[in-house]
Chain A
Amino acid sequence: MAESEIKLLGAWPSPFVMRARIALNIKSIDYEFHQEKLGSKSQLLLESNPVYKKIPVLIHDQKPICESLIIVQYVDEAWSSGPSILPSDPYDRAIARFWAAYIDDKWFPSLSGLAKAQGEEAKKAAMDQVREGFLLLEEAFGKCSKGKDFFGGDRIGYLDIALGCFLGWLRVSEKMNGVKLLDAAKTPGLAGWADKFCGDDAVKDVMPETDKLTEFAKILFQAKANAPPPAN
């Protein structure tokens, strides 16, 4: 398939964009990556995602698909001959979708809450929330992996992608706060899984290095601190 028929609008630091890239890599799909600039949105982005104006957007044969997990499912279904991303059994699929929704609705907000927390008490509360989430996810990992390396079993799948995309930012949070959030003693399954996920062929080229991401985080937080209050 010609490369220009598949475009991905995104940015290298975004975990949500990473989800789409991992899915495309699993299926060995060639695509054109359009890097959006921080602080501005391209005309193509505004036209392709008029509802949210956000990345990632996958454009396949000029048809845009938005929302990272919807893109991952689309890639799985549109390229059905490649390795499967979602499990085949309907109940296993439901469990994977349930935990992916938990990660987006509850767990990720606790991680981004840590970045926004002001003061020691607020930071500690946010860290506790992240760790509590990991305890739940450790249990989910045990049930889904059934003793294998990944939530998806022998290969990475939907739920691995849904959680694993945040490992870069998790490590930045740990570094900037001088704490361990993913603790091998408390959540050994997840700790082992994290290393294997980051080393996976579909992941390693699109997972940003922690140092580079930390530098970016500093620029981002500085920009937000300097920005005027949003106009109403």
Chain B
Amino acid sequence: MAEEVKLFRTWSSPFALRIVWALKIKGVEYETIFEDLSNKSPSLLQYNPTHKKVPVLVHNGRPIAESYVILEYIDETWKETPLLPEDPYERAMARFWAKFGDDKVFTSIICGVLIKEGKEQEEAMVEAMENLQFLEEELRGKKFFGGERIGFVDLALGWLANLISILEDVAGLKLVGEDKFPLLSAWMKDFADSPLIKDNWQPRDKMITKFQALRDAKLAAAASK
């Protein structure tokens, strides 16, 4: 049976990019359906009724949602160029750092530094810096989080490689300086420029507009309380 693979995504979602990268690394052909989240398609609502979010992967008519669930499904279904290591302990570490990336790094930066100002932003910065320091230490002795080549954690954290400089412009402060985070800075460049990764970044100007609007809206909402 010919494989039918569809990816429901938005143009901007960093979580959907994880899936784009994984499919490209594995050489899987797929169709993209771009969603407008203010006007969700009947297909999206049918395939992800629980969360009504992107990304959703549909493989031969069967939907899978939640980006890390999709990544593991892709890794188990198309076995060439594995994303997760073979060793159970290394796999557990990969899953740990991926979860840390979303629970702590993403949250402290996007829900913290980006949308706050003044003392609140300073406090969010302290937390973000601590979280980034854990990642800096995790890169010791490695080119990528996956080792010599890109792996699960690189895809999980890959949003940093592009979004950090956008957020630094919008929020007006330095998050990942080369002096404080030499390994993370180097990884961000290496990852962003990697073949199969570099052609898929979202347009920078559109991203700046989007995140500036998000920051402005959140600050306005906080000020009116």
Instruction: Check if B91 sits within 8 Å of A93, measured CB to CB.
Output: no
Residues in B neighbouring A71, C-beta threshold 8 A: 92
A73-B95 contact, Cβ under 8 Å, with A63-B89, A91-B64, A97-B66 = yes
User: Quick one: closest B residue to A76, CB to CB?
Assistant: B88
Q: Note all chain B residues with C-beta closer than 8 A to A98.
A: 64-66, 69
- B132 vs chain A, min Cβ distance (A): 13
User: Which residue on B lies nearest to A90, using beta carbons?
Assistant: B76
Contact across chains for B50 and A136 when beta carbons are under 8 A apart: yes
Residue B46 interfacial (CB < 8 Å): no
> Quick check: B73 and A94 within 8 Å, CB to CB?
yes
Residue of B nearest to A78 (CB): B88
From DSSP, what is the main secondary structure of chain A's interface residues? helix
The interface bits of chain B over 177-198 (1 if a CB of A lies within 8 angstroms of the residue's CB, else 0) are: 0000000000000000000000
Question: Is residue B72 within 8 Å, beta carbon to beta carbon, of the partner chain?
Answer: yes
Q: Does B62 interact with chain A (Cβ within 8 Å)?
A: yes
Q: Write the A15-33 contact mask toward B (1 if CB under 8 angstroms, else 0).
A: 0000000000000000000
Given contacts A77-B88, A90-B77, 17 further A-B contacts (CB under 8 A): A51-B134, A63-B89, A65-B96, A66-B96, A70-B92, A70-B99, A74-B89, A74-B92, A77-B91, A78-B89, A90-B76, A91-B59, A91-B62, A94-B64, A98-B64, A98-B66, A136-B50
**Which residues of B approach A to under 8 Å, CB–CB?**
50-51, 59, 62, 64-66, 68-70, 72-73, 76-77, 88-89, 91-92, 95-96, 99-100, 104, 123, 134
For this complex, 18 residue pairs linking A to B, each with C-beta atoms less than 8 Å apart, are A51-B100, A63-B89, A65-B92, A66-B96, A67-B96, A67-B99, A70-B99, A74-B88, A90-B73, A91-B73, A93-B73, A94-B64, A94-B69, A94-B70, A94-B72, A94-B73, A98-B65, A102-B50
